[in-house]
Every structure is written in C-alpha cells, then in structure tokens.
Amino acid sequence: MHYFVTGATGFIGKRLVKTLLARRGSKLHFLLREGSQAKLAALYKYWGVSKARAIPVVGDLRSKKLGVSAADLGALKGQFDAVYHLAAIYDLNADAQHQIEVNIDGTRNLVGFAQAVGARHLHHVSSIAAAGLYDGVFREDMFDEAKHAEHPYFMTKHESEKIVRRECKLPWTVYRPALVVGDSQSGEMEKIDGPYYFFKAIQRMRQLLPPWFPAVGLEGGRINIVPVDFVVRCIDHISHIGRGPLKKPRVEIDGKTFHVVDPSGYRIGEVLDIFSKAAHAPKMNLYVNAALLGFVPAGVKKGLLAMPAVRRLRSAVMKNLGLPEDVMSFLNWPTRYDHRALDAALAGSGIECPRLEDYAWVLWDYWERHLDPALFIDRSLQGAVGGKVVLVTGGSSGIGLASACRFAQAGATTLICARDADKLAAAVREIEAYARERGNAEPKVFSYGADIANEASCAALVQTIQEQHEGVDFLINNAGRSIRRAIESSYERFHDFERTMQLNYFGSLRITLGLLPGMVAKKAGHVVNLSSISVLVNAPRFSAYVASKAALDAWTRCAGAEFADRGVTFTTVNMPLVRTPMTAPTKIYDSMPLLTPEEAAEMIVQACIDKPVRVATRLGVFGEVLQAVAPRVTQVAMNTTFRMFPDSAAAQGDTSGKGSGKGSERGSERGSERGKPGARTKLSAEAIALSQMMRGIHF
C-alpha cells in the first residue's frame, strides 16, 4: 500500500511511519518543511528504510494544498491508498494564533491536498480535547455536543475535526487519542506534557520527605492516559480494516470516530499517586476533592485573578512548580469517554492498553534520565562561579577554607578575609595548591585582613574590594562565633550574647549592606548566609549562638522578599555541627559523628549552584516541623538531650586556663560532674547512641 503522512517527524507520526513501513510492499510520501532536510538522516535510520520507500514532499501545512505545486500534485494523483494527518500543535502553552494556523488552517489545507491527489481514505488524528470539558460520558458518535471548548487547544482540535467531518469529500476516519505519554516498553518521550508537568513536584517531594511519610493529594476529576505505542498500534490496525486481505470488514470505519483511550481511566489523585510510587516519593494517603474549591463564586475568582499582585503570585507559584498557567483549570476534568467502537475494532487483534501501574516506572525512569529540566542546566560549580568574584568571610580555616578551595578550583576570583594575617597567608597557599592539583593552573586568590565585627575594619574591607574587584558576585557569610553555655551559667555573662550578635548578626549585615548596592547596580548577585541547624531545633546550651543566627535568618528572609525582582538572591544554609578548629576544645564532640569541612563546603557549593531559599538537612526540617506542630513535645525532647550531655569545663567555672584560646568559650569539656573540673568527660552509651541518630545536632 502507498501512504501519505503529515507530522511524520513528530512523536506519534514517526512511530506510525515506522509501523506502516513494516508492512510488506508498503511505500509512503511524507510532508517535510523547507529547512528540515537535516532531520532526514536520523529519520531514515530510525525507520530502517532508504529514500526509495519513504519519499519527502517539501511543503508547508499553512499553505493551500500544503504548498505543493500543480505539477507535483499531478504526479502524485491517484497514488495514495490512505492519507494520515497527524501534524498539529499539542501544547497547552502555545499561543492561540499559532494553534489556529496549524491545527485549523493546516487541516483545511491537508483536506484540499488529499482531495486534489485523489486519496482513497483520510485518517485524521484528533484528540479527546475535541469534546471540550463535557460533563458526563462523551460517546464516539458525539461531536456537536462538545461543551466548554474555549481553551485554544480544545477549540482548535474541535474545529479541525469539524473541517474533516463537514468539508472532506473523501471517506474519512477520526481517531481521538487520550493524553499520550511515552512508550510503555522504553519510556521514550520527546517533551514534557500532560502528567509529566507534575513530575518535578513529585521529585521535590521525594527529596524532602521519606517514602513512608503520609502525604495529602488532590482527588480531582478523571483523566485518561495512553502510551504512544498503544496509540500507534490502534491507528495502524483500524486503518487497515477492510484493506488488503480483509475484504469484508467486521467493523465499518468510514465516517466513524474511535476513542483511543484507556478503558480504566483514573482520577488525577490516583495518577499522581501511581507516579509517586514509581518515583519512591511519599504515598498520598488522604485525598482532598478539588471540587471543594468550587464554592468560591466564579465572579470572585475572576476578580481576584484580574489583580496584578494575585496574577504575579500565581505565575511565580506555577513557575516554581514547573506547571503551565492553564493546567489547574483541568483538575476537575468532568469528561469520561465511551470506547465501544474501539473495543469492537480491536476484538481479536490482541491489542490492549497496558495498565498505568505496570509502566509508570518506565515513564518515570526515562523522564528522570532524559527529560528532567535539571539535566539541561549547567549544575557545575564552574558554570555558576567561573570568572566571578566570590568573597568568603572566615576563609582561613574550617568551612570557609574548604569552600574557598572549591571556588578557586572552579575558576572564581576567590577572596578570603579573616583576622589572623599568618593564617591567611597559609590559607592562600593551601587554596592555590588545591586548585592547581585539580586543573586550575592559575588560580586567582586574594586575602584581606579584617575583623567584620569591627565597623571601621569592615568598612575598609568593603572599600578595598570595591576598588580592586568592583564588588563581588557571590558573598559567603561564613565567619561566626559559637558559645556552648547553658543560660543558668550565663546570668553574669551578658557579654556572651553581645559578642555573638556582634559577629554573627551585625558583622554579616555590615559586609552584606556594604556590598549589596553593587549587586543591585549589576542586577545580579547571590548572598549565602551560614546559619545553623540549631535554629531549626532550638538547641539548648546554645541560646546566645542560636539567637544571633535566628536574627540573621529573619533578616535574610526579609531581604530575599525585597530583592526578589532585582536580580539579587539569598540562601540560608542551616548547617549541621561540623568538625572544625572551633569545635576542637569541646572534647565530647570527639565521640560524635560530625560533618567534615568538605561535606559542609558541599552544602555551600549547592547553595551557589541552585540558589535555593534554604539548604537544610532532613533532620533539621523535621525538627522545624515538629516545633511548629507539637512545640511542647519538642521542648521535652530537647530538655532530655540537655540533661543527657554534660556542661563544658568553662561553663562549670574551670578557670585553670587549660581550655583557653579561641575555642575556650565552647569549653574544654573537663569534669565529669558539675562543679568538679579536672576529670575527663565520658559520655554514656545512651548519649553516644543519640548523637549517632541525630548527626549534626548541637548537644
């Protein structure tokens, strides 16, 4: 048989062409746009044929009779047993005019071409969208009964099918596939559409919560999903009924419509739950009927959405979830689809629609490996900071030093500041050596002696950076002071609270406010403020430290809101406890599984690459949620840990000087009992087990 196919380069079309060409003695012509010849080699390889069996016809769907010349029309006349029309726009985001030109005008031009060449049969691939949002069961013999087809996609699919029904003088058959997803065997898909819009939200839920965590989902209306291989097999089989050896068809297909749908059908909540299970994300244990939102009068909703602030907020939420603007309109999809004609046509063929539960994991796996938008974003640190200026405060040791090494390796102009000139010089040598060993032959590393807790010193640092580097692109507020002392031991030590606020809060603000105007002027910049997991869990013994970091967290949230439209972004990193020189004097930490500076640096690196609002561990997020849901339970739990772990030697009044130095405020952890300094602290087995379970928590 001899065929003509439009949309042969598309997702469904190229698979249908391959299936048609698998028939013995088959041959086809296919429409090819001018300038698309570069696709031919890949198409022929996919189809497994040469140009002798698949012949391109250069034309344009938007031109009358496809833009094919009169001479070529004459040469093609009488050759085609069947014409398959698949070329169309299948995209909710496409503008209305483009959809009209392709879906409606294109179909009219195709009908004109098919009649001009005297094709024997026209097979038009429409969509269930032609039914609009009909409330109830839409039969295969229904058309004019379509309702609520105002959306451009629904409208153009309905009108294009009308052209075939009313204007085509050839025998015709219409196929209305449901929402088409990837191949049920390979998962192959070419774009994000239909249920794929929700995959990113499912992925984020999986990243935040364990699989066993109970989730709440929307029940929604019923949607119908079919894999592309099922659609192709149905069209191929039905279009050949009564052709070739089947001279007396069991089913009449002329002037008939077939709903190529899954006979089961699923509610939207069920579909999301099936894909959540495939993704190992939390299962939805409770469903909320989306129809409950219908109590808001349509006029009120329309009025709210007319407000610029509401529209902007809605757009931001939809963009963050990766959802098109119109997708929420279909949550209560009211239509179910009759498929008795399809069942009769497929009887005895062995063609059945596979269950979504059986192939959902294949679709998910293919999406995550090939279509996840994150795959097409440069997620490397070099892509984020290469050639940029990065300032790391407190960069001479610990987390700051480990982070600066990563930035220098990635090709950033790396600036570090600290108070100790000797440590800064040693840090520069270490950073340069690290970068050279890992491929950056000429790292650019600069050090500046400064105390950001001192207003004059901080101002001088900002001025120097502006003069020498014209500001910074990334600011990492890492410098900080931590004091481990119970409130009972702090009655006469108000300066503890002043010191932590002076460095952790005011110091970070001074350097940020000094460099922020330059970022605003460039409309680009990112500030990473290192906070603590203790802010999320309200760790006892760290009240001075937690209060200063909580103040910085609150300021960061306010700044993020103010500068959201100015190109400057902010990230808070709620850092777990890290093994650094600052923790070394606290000897009980020797028995605890703390993070390494390199692991902490990785969290900062991700903050610079992804620029999220917050970076936190699951344990930290769980602690914050528990505090919000059951604050009294959280208090009891943290009080238990408070009594389980001993005070530091400094907190117990050990003035022997053995714990002196920068870390002495955190204590040398000598003295196994209160008021008895001198004996080495030993943790109980219970305390060690708890620290292993709650890695990174400040005890």
> Which pLDDT score is estimated for 692?
66
pLDDT of residue 484: 80
Distance (Å, rounded) from C-alpha 500 to C-alpha 668?
19
Reported as a pLDDT band with limits 50, 70 and 90, residue 176 is very high
Can you give the pLDDT at residue 303? 75
Tokens of 384: 């984020």
Domain boundaries, the chain: 1-177, 181-225+265-337+351-377, 381-619
337 within 8 A of 127, measured Cβ to Cβ: no
**Of residues 249 and 437, which shows the higher confidence score?**
437
Exposed / middle / buried, residue 142 (Cβ in 10 Å: 0-12, 13-18, 19+): middle
What are 485-502's pLDDT values in tens digits? 888 888 888 988 999 999
pLDDT of residue 661: 35
Average pLDDT over residues 86-108: 88
Determine which of 368-377, 530-539, 677-686 has the lowest per-residue pLDDT on average: 677-686
Write out the two tokens for 572. 């808070």
Output 480 or 182, whichever has higher pLDDT: 182
Average pLDDT over residues 266-289: 84
Of 695 and 194, the one with more pLDDT: 194
Q: In this predicted model, what pLDDT tens digit does every residue of 179-188 receive, in sequence order?
A: 999 999 999 9
Whether the predicted pLDDT of 225 surpasses 50 = yes
Q: For 320, which DSSP code? A: H
Percent share of the chain, pLDDT over 70: 85
Q: Residue 620: in which H helix or E strand, if any?
A: helix 618-629
Least confidently predicted of 134-143, 252-261, 310-319, 383-392: 310-319
Q: Give 412-424 as a 3 state SS string.
A: CEEEEEECCHHHH
Confidence (pLDDT) at 654:
57
Q: Does domain 381-619 fall into CATH 3.40.50.720? A: yes
Write the pLDDT tens digit of every residue in 374-392.
888 888 999 999 999 999 9
Q: Which residues of 406-427 are buried (b: 16+ CB within 10 A; e: fewer)?
A: bbbbbbbbbbbbbbeeebbeeb
Point out the residues that are catalytic: 545
Tokens at 372, concatenated: 């996840």
- DSSP label of 182: S
Backbone angles phi and psi of 574, in degrees to 5: -85, 85
Across residues 546-564, what is the average pLDDT?
A: 94
Rounded to whole angstroms, the Cα distance separating 562 from 557 reads 9
- pLDDT for 686 equals 67
496 in Cβ contact with 665 (< 8 Å): yes
Question: Burial letters for 520-545: b for 16+ Cβ neighbours within 10 Å, e otherwise?
Answer: eeeeebbbbbbbbbbbbbbbbbbbbb
Higher pLDDT, 59 or 283: 59
Question: Which ranges in 477-596 belong to alpha helices (H)?
Answer: 494-500, 508-522, 533-537, 543-562
Using alpha carbons, list the distances in angstroms from residue 131 to 143, 214, 330.
7, 36, 13
**Mean of all residue pLDDT scores within the chain:** 86
Tell me the DSSP string of 609-670.
Answer: HH--SEEE-HHHHHHHHHHHH-HHHHHHHHHHHHHHSPPPTTTTT--SSTT-STTGGG---B
Is pLDDT above 70 for 653? no
With a cut of 70, say whether residue 163 has pLDDT above it. yes
What is the model's pTM? 0.74
* Confidence band of 201 (pLDDT split at 50, 70, 90): confident
Give me the pLDDT at residue 288, please.
67
Mean pLDDT, rounded, for 301-321: 71
Task: Tell me the Cα Rg of the chain.
Answer: 33
Fold match between domain 1-177 and domain 381-619: yes
How high is the pLDDT of residue 43?
94
Tell me the CATH class for 1-177. Answer: alpha beta
pLDDT at 577: 83
Asked if residue 660 has pLDDT above 70, the reply is no
